[in-house]
Amino acid sequence: MLIDREKRQWTSWNGNISHHFNHLETPLREEELAAAIARSNSVRVIGNGQSSADICAGTATLVSGRKYNGPVSFDDTKGEVTVQAGMTLAELMELIESRGWALPSLPDIDSVTIGGALATGTHGTSGHLLSGYLRSMRIIGADGEIEEIGTGDPLFDAFRCSVGVLGAVSTATFSCVPLRRLALVEEPYRDDDWMASWPRWLEEHDFVRILWLPHTGFGYVILGDYRGEDPGFGSPEPRHHRYRRDVSRLLYRHTVGHPGFTPRANRILKKLFFSSRVHRYGTLYGATVTKSRNSTLELAEWSVGQPSFPALFEELKRSLNDGKNRAWAHIPMDVRFLKSDTTWLSCACGEPAVTVGCVTRHPGTADEYRAFDLVERLFLRHSGRPHWAKRYAARADVLRELWPKWDEFTALREKRDPAGKFLNGYLRDIFGVRG
C-alpha cells in the first residue's frame, strides 16, 4: 500500500486501486480514533491495503491504524488476548505464540491488520473465519461513541464481519487455544482422487488444503495432524522450490499476450514445484502461513456450500479447459474448507463451505483475465458467495439473494450510519445505498 501525503493519494498494494483523500489521521489512542471518526463526514479506516475490492478508501478522511497496533491485555486464566485493531497478524502471532497460545485457523497472509482481516471475513482452512475466534470487540460508531460487544449479544454475529460499515473496530479480544505442532504432508493427487477423498479427509485430519492446478489434472494436497513430536515421514521441501514465484512470474508474463500458453505454463510449474512429496512439522503459523509477499497478485475467491462443490468443480474444470472460453487460469487455485457459522455476512453462514481462489500474477491486466468472469458466473449459478476483500462484479441486487440475513444487515447499517459516512462509492453499490 502506498500513501502519498503530498499528493494526498492512497494506492492499494498491487496498484490497481487509487483514491484521493483530504485528511489522513493516524491515531495513537482509542479516544483519538473515536474523535477522528466523529469529526469526519466521510471516513474509512485503512489497514494494509491488501484487498482487491475497492473497500478501503474513496472517502474524504482516511484513518490509518498503523500506529494503533499494540497489545491491550492478556487473561491468562481464560487464554484471551486483547489487541488494537491496527496490529498485524504477524505481530499477534508472535505475541500469543510466546505465551504458548495459538488460534485454530489462520489465513495464508500475515501482513494483514486485525481490523482489515475481521472486516472482510478473512479465513484459513479446517476451521472458522478469524472472527470466529473473537470473544468481544470494541467498536466506534458513526458519532464516535464507543461500545463493547461480545459473545452472548444477539448482534455480535452482525459485527464479526461487517466490511467496516457498522463502525470501526478499535480493539479485538480473541480466545486462544494451547499451541501445538502440526505434521504436514504435501503431495500431488489426480483430480478424480482428491475429489473423491476430501470429505473423508475433513473427518480424519486436522488440516486440509488443496492447491488445485488447473489444466494439469492434479491438485497438490496438504494434509496435517497435530502430533506431540515430529514423525519425520517424507522429505523436506526441495531447495529449488524457493524459486517458484520467480519462475511463475516469468512464465505468466508470457500469458498476458498469449493466454493460450497458460496450460503449458501450468504443466511446467506442476512438474517443477508440485510433484514431490514434502513433509513439514511446526506450529500452524510457522508451517502453513506465507511470511513474505514480494510479488503482487490480483485475487478473487468464491465459496459454495460443501454439498454443491462436486457438481460445481466438474463444471469449473470443464469450462476452464474449454479453449472456446479463453478463460485459462493461473495456478494454484486454493481450495479450503470452512465449518458452518452464524456470522451474518460470513461465506460459511448457515452451512459448511468450500472456498476456491482464483488468481492472476499480472494485476495490471486483471480486467482481461477471463477466468475471473467465468468463475463468478459458475459460482453464482450455484448460489456461491464472494470474498468481501477480493474481486467480483456482483452488486446489491445479486448479493442480497446470497445471505439469509442480508436485509437485517443493511437495516442495521442504515440505523447505525444513516448519513453513510462509512461508505465510499463501491460500498454504496454493494449495499444498495443511493446517493
Ligand X SMILES: Cc1cc2nc3c(=O)[nH]c(=O)nc-3n(C[C@H](O)[C@H](O)[C@H](O)COP(=O)(O)OP(=O)(O)OC[C@H]3O[C@@H](n4cnc5c(N)ncnc54)[C@H](O)[C@@H]3O)c2cc1C
Contact residues toward ligand X (CB under 6 A) are 44-51, 55-56, 65, 85, 107-109, 112-113, 115-117, 119-120, 122-123, 163-164, 168-169, 293, 297, 299, 387, 389
Burial of 225 (0-12, 13-18, 19+ CB in 10 A): middle
Question: Shortest distance, CB of residue 231 to ligand X, whole angstroms?
Answer: 26
Please, which residue, 263 or 409, has the CB nearer to ligand X? 409
CB 299 to ligand X: min, Å: 6
Pick from 423, 344, 426: nearest CA to 391: 426
Nearer to ligand X, 214 or 357 (CB): 357
Looking at the Cβ atoms of 107 and 188, the one nearer to ligand X is 107
Please give the Cα distance from 245 to 251 (Å, whole number).
10
Q: How far is the CB of 277 from ligand X (least distance, A)?
A: 24
Please, what is the minimum distance in Å from the beta carbon of residue 181 to ligand X?
21
Q: Cβ of residue 381: shortest distance to ligand X, in angstroms? A: 23
- What is the full DSSP assignment across 260-306? GGHHHHHHHHHHHHSSS-EEEEE-HHHHHS-----S--EEEEEEEEG
Say whether 186 sits in a helix, a strand or coil.
strand
Contact call for residues 136 and 149 (beta carbons, < 8 A): yes
φ/ψ of 197, rounded to 5, equals -105, -20
**263 vs 345 by CB, closer to ligand X:** 345
Structure-block grid coordinates of residue 101: 497460545
User: Is the distance from CB of 268 to CB of 227 less than 8 angstroms?
Assistant: no
Instruction: Pick the closer one to ligand X by CB: 52 or 263.
Output: 52
> Which residues are CB-contacts of 329 (< 8 A; sequence separation ≥ 6)?
214, 215, 262, 320, 358, 359, 371, 375
Please, what is the minimum distance in Å from the beta carbon of residue 30 to ligand X? 11
Nearest to 421 by CA among 52, 224, 167: 167
- In the complex, the smallest distance separating the C-beta of residue 65 from ligand X, rounded to whole angstroms, is 5
Which phi and psi angles does 4 have, rounded to 5°? -100, 100
Q: Which is nearer to ligand X, 253 or 291 (CB)?
A: 291
Query: Closer to ligand X at the Cβ: 79 or 357?
Result: 357
Contact by Cβ (8 Å): 110, 93: yes
Min dist. Cβ of residue 209 to ligand X (A): 10
57/263 with CB nearer ligand X = 57
- For the CA atoms of 222, 92, 241, 248, what is the dihedral angle to 10 degrees? 100
